[in-house]
Chain A
Amino acid sequence: MSLIPGSVISQLVDQAAGSDPEKLAEMEAFLGLDRPWYAQLGSWLANVVQGDLGNSWRSRIPVADLLGPRLMVTLQLSAMATVISSLVLGIPGGLIAAAYKSRWPDSVVRVVSLLALSVPVFWMGSMLILVFSVWFNWSPPLTWVSPFEDFGANMRMMILPAIALGLAGAAPLVRMTRNSILEVMGQNYIRTARSTGATEGRIRFRHALRNAIIPVVTSAGLQFGFLIGGAVVIEEVFSLPGVGRLLLQAISQRDFPVVQACVLTIGIFLIFLNIAVDILYAYLDPRIKLGD
């Protein structure tokens, strides 16, 4: 990223003091841009390891201070979307499809989930705004409130973007749940349960779902990461002050420390997410042992 010099200098200097070459060089030296790119990358890495993400070129505010509150918004949004896509849509959809395998409800679920997969997330967001404002004469509030201050207002703001985002993430979970249940239903212990005279509903929920849900939990966890990506656009549509908007703003201002920090933070978060999912996996399925 440091490879591309960008125009932050000219942008900053234009505001400050016209295009005086001396001023330009001074500014460059101040930001460390006069050094070769590998030196810049090296010192950036050295600082990051020490927990210093640097300062924004624009506002001079430490990047960590910019990022912190915005990360909360993005994480809340992605978490809500994950709940919607797994608990509200994905798992019930998969259960229905598996229960009626190769019959019409199965086909309906398949087409609907393909539809959901094919909708651009940001367009879904716009359409939700449009539908709610035209038909119900209601639109989400424009200023963001922390859930700890006013939970109701926060929910009113977050529910539509979470639905738009959750819809996009539901399709793989539907498929996963359906296939996983079908696989489990063919196993011996289900036959045994059936032979003891257990009802079909009991078999399905008590015996099959418990085992079938494990891979679904894993992919729901990984889905969380995918949804963070989707949050970038949906935040723009709903004007939520999240990491996505910060990133876009930083890009348009060529504020590279902020861009680097945004990508790095989300990358690190995803690594921890993967570890957490692995641990959860072992917890849910006692047969799996971590680290051999």
Chain B
Amino acid sequence: MGSPHRTDEARLEPTHPIRTRLRAVRRVLAEEPLLTIGILISFIMLLIAIFPEFFATYDPRDTDALAPLQGPSTAHWFGTDTLGRDVYSRVIHGTRTSIAVSGISVGFALLVGSTLGLISGYFGGFVDQLLGRLMDVVFSLPALLLAVAIAGVLGPSVRNAIIAIGVVYTPHFFRVARSGAITMSARPFVMASRLIGARHRRIVIRHILPNVSALLMVQTTVSFAYAILLEASLSFLGLGVQPPNPSWGSILNEGRPFLQLAGWMSIFPGLMILLSVLSVNLVGDTLRDRWDTSQGSG
């Protein structure tokens, strides 16, 4: 079935047994303490997002009319908001929403952007021109401005925030996939498989995609960090997650009128955003550095 000329780059390297691989991973982690910290924090964030009930101390929607706007204490670690809800528990439960919204948006951008990018770069011609121009238009507008405009026009809701963030980041993946596909299409192994008569779809999926995937991975990490910030900004402006539901941005939105009266409503969700974006950035930054220096670009 498989053609004898299938020579993915990875195939040329000797295949390591699992133990050697693990040792290599451990060596990289030891060399890059920042990467280790980043992965560790991201992992904790993921746990919080999956099991918020385990971390939260109260129900995030439980109001307490007797204890509104209380400062941080042993009972309420991050204080309480105007309705007496526990800010810590709301931040914990908001993690899931914030991470899910950013994750789905980036997934959407990855899927649409890289598919279109691969097609555009592989086939070239009119399709490439058209898609390229379209993506340039989206790319040239500032991300936040565009997201605000899209989310605003579609109407404020979680679904529309996802669409807005996804559309904003699609060109980033498009560019990476397109330039990768152009470089790879010129490689001898792609020409070889074309000569044997492999179908276009097969060439793109089996030969080009695997060689672009590392770059797409880096792009995914970087975009994910920005998407968390973008989701927070949209929800903060009231264009994303709507107030009764907690997300980091929407809690900040609720806390804004009480900034000087109840600063804790603003401090802690922001710290949480900072921590999670920082951890993803630590991973992305290290990956990019290692990729740029050891592999050359594209």
Contacts and interface: CB of A to CB of B under 8 A. Distances in A.
Contact of B145 (A4, A232, A252): A232
Interface string B25-63: 000000000100000000000000000000000000000
Interface in A104-118: 110-111, 114-115, 117-118
A139 B260 CA distance: 10
Interface string A209-236: 0000000000000000110111011001
Given A4-B154, A120-B229, A120-B270, A266 B145 contact: yes
A126 B145 contact: no
Contacts, number: 120
Contacts of B155: 4
B287 interface: no
B277 interface: yes
A130 B263 contact: yes
Nearest to B236: A122
B266 A130 contact: yes
Given A130-B263, A259-B152, A259-B153, A229 B142 contact: yes
B56 to A, nearest CB: 22
Interface in A131-188: 133-134, 139
Which of B143, B148, B252 lies at the interface centre, i.e. has the most chain A CB atoms within 10 A of its CB? B148
Contacts of B260: 129-130, 133-134, 139
Contacts of B140: 267, 270-271, 274
A247 interface: yes
Nearest to A122: B236
A228 B145 contact: yes
A232 B148 contact: yes
B142 A228 contact: yes
A218 to B, nearest CB: 15
A118 B237 contact: no
Interface size bracket, A side: 35 or more
B270 A251 contact: no
B270 A233 contact: no
Which of A110, A118, A248 lies at the interface centre, i.e. has the most chain B CB atoms within 10 A of its CB? A118
B34 A111 contact: yes
A87 interface: no
A237 B263 CA distance: 14
B233 A122 contact: yes
Nearest to B230: A120
A244 B147 CA distance: 12
Interface in A244-260: 244, 247-248, 251-252, 256, 259
Given A232-B148, A248-B148, A126 B266 contact: yes
Given A232-B144, A233-B237, A266-B145, A123 B270 contact: yes
B152 A248 contact: yes
Given A229-B144, A267-B141, A247 B149 contact: yes
A127 B141 CA distance: 28
B227 interface: no
A266 B282 contact: no
Nearest to B140: A270
B273 interface: yes
A232 B148 CA distance: 9
Which of B143, B145, B146, B233 lies at the interface centre, i.e. has the most chain A CB atoms within 10 A of its CB? B145
A244 B252 CA distance: 19
25 contacts: A4-B154, A114-B282, A117-B281, A118-B225, A118-B278, A118-B281, A120-B233, A120-B236, A120-B273, A120-B277, A123-B266, A126-B266, A127-B266, A133-B260, A226-B142, A230-B144, A232-B148, A233-B236, A237-B256, A244-B148, A247-B149, A251-B152, A256-B153, A259-B153, A266-B141
Given A114-B278, A225-B142, A251-B148, 19 more contacts: A4-B155, A6-B153, A111-B34, A114-B285, A118-B225, A119-B274, A120-B274, A122-B233, A126-B256, A226-B143, A229-B141, A229-B145, A233-B236, A236-B237, A251-B149, A251-B153, A266-B142, A267-B141, A271-B140
Q: Which 7 A-B pairs have the closest CB atoms?
A: A229-B142, A251-B152, A123-B270, A118-B277, A118-B278, A229-B144, A229-B145
